[in-house]
Amino acid sequence: MKSVITEDIAYCQELLRNNEIVAIPTETVYGLAGNIYEEEAIKKIFEMKGRPLFNPLIVHIHDISQMDTLVKEVPEAARALMNTFWPGPLTLILPKKEGVSDLITAGKSTVGIRMPKHRVTRALLQGLDFPLAAPSANPFTKISSTSSQHVASYFGSKIPAILEGGPCEVGLESTIVGFEAGIPTVYRKGGIAIAAIKECVGQVKLLTKEEKAPVAPGMLLKHYAPSTKLMISDTVAETIEEHAHLKIGVLSFFKTNYENCTVKVLSEQKSLDEAAQHLFSALHELDQMHLDVIIAERFPEEGLGISINDRLERAAH
Ligand code: TXA
Ligand code: MG
Per residue in 43-88, pLDDT (tens digit) is 999 999 999 999 999 999 999 999 999 999 999 999 999 999 999 9
pLDDT at residue 224 tops 80:
no
Distance of alpha carbon 66 from alpha carbon 71, whole angstroms? 9
Stretch(es) of the chain classified as CATH 3.40.50.11030: 229-316
111 ligand 1 Cβ < 6 A: yes
Distance of alpha carbon 155 from alpha carbon 111, whole angstroms? 27
Mean pLDDT of the chain: 95
- Is 211 or 263 the better-scoring residue by pLDDT? 263
pLDDT at residue 126 tops 60:
yes
* Cα-based distances in Å from 289 to 24, 146, 154, 224, 277: 27, 18, 17, 17, 21
- Find out whether 58 and 133 touch, Cβ atoms under 8 Å: yes
177 ligand 1 Cβ < 6 A: no
Ligand having the closest approach to the CA of 32: 1
Distance of alpha carbon 286 from alpha carbon 272, whole angstroms? 20
112 ligand 1 Cβ < 6 A: yes
Q: Are strands 22-24 and 132-133 parallel, antiparallel or unpaired?
A: unpaired
132 ligand 1 Cβ < 6 A: no
**pTM listed for this prediction:** 0.96
171 ligand 1 Cβ < 6 A: no
Cα diameter, the chain: 60
pLDDT score for 208: 76
pLDDT score for 2: 55
For residue 212, give the nearest of 144, 138, 314 by alpha carbon: 314
pLDDT at residue 165 tops 80:
yes
Distance of alpha carbon 242 from alpha carbon 227, whole angstroms? 21
pLDDT at residue 175 tops 80:
yes
Q: Which CATH number fits domain 5-215: 3.20.20.70, 3.90.870.10, 3.40.50.970, 3.90.1170.20?
A: 3.90.870.10
Which residue spans within the chain are E strands per DSSP? Answer: 5-6, 22-24, 31-35, 58-60, 90-95, 110-114, 132-133, 161-163, 175-180, 183-188, 205-206, 229-233, 248-252, 262-265, 293-297
Report the separation in Å between the CA atom of 89 and the middle of ligand 2, taken as the mean of its atom positions: 13
Distance of alpha carbon 101 from alpha carbon 6, whole angstroms? 30
Mean pLDDT for 91-110 is: 97
Mean pLDDT for 303-314 is: 96
Distance of alpha carbon 259 from alpha carbon 164, whole angstroms? 37
pLDDT score for 180: 87
The residue whose CA has the least distance to atom 18 of ligand 1 is 218
Q: Quick count: other Cβ atoms within 10 Å of Cβ 270? A: 13
Stretch(es) of the chain classified as CATH 3.90.870.10: 5-215
The residue whose CA has the least distance to atom 19 of ligand 1 is 218
pLDDT score for 7: 98
134 ligand 1 Cβ < 6 A: yes
pLDDT at residue 174 tops 90:
yes
- Find out whether 194 and 207 touch, Cβ atoms under 8 Å: no
Phi, psi of 173 (to 5 degrees): -60, 165
Q: Which run of H or of E encompasses 120?
A: helix 119-126
Confidence class for position 178, pLDDT limits 50, 70, 90: very high
- Complex ipTM, two decimals? 0.99
pLDDT (tens digit per residue) in 230-246: 999 999 999 999 999 99
Ligand having the closest approach to the CA of 174: 1
pLDDT at residue 218 tops 90:
no
pLDDT-above-70 percentage for the chain: 97
pLDDT score for 214: 67
Distance of alpha carbon 138 from alpha carbon 224, whole angstroms? 9
- Find out whether 49 and 59 touch, Cβ atoms under 8 Å: no
pLDDT at residue 1 tops 60:
no
Of 27, 46, 53, 136, best ligand 1 pocket probe by most atoms within 8 Å of the beta carbon: 136
The residue whose CA has the least distance to atom 6 of ligand 1 is 31
pLDDT at residue 211 tops 80:
no
Report the separation in Å between the CA atom of 260 and the middle of ligand 2, taken as the mean of its atom positions: 33
pLDDT at residue 217 tops 70:
no
Report the separation in Å between the CA atom of 91 and the middle of ligand 2, taken as the mean of its atom positions: 13
CATH class belonging to 229-316: alpha beta
Amino acid identity of residue 137, one-letter, is A
User: How far is Cα of residue 212 from the mean position of the Cα atoms in its chain?
Assistant: 17
Residue 102: CB partners within 8 Å, gap ≥ 6? none
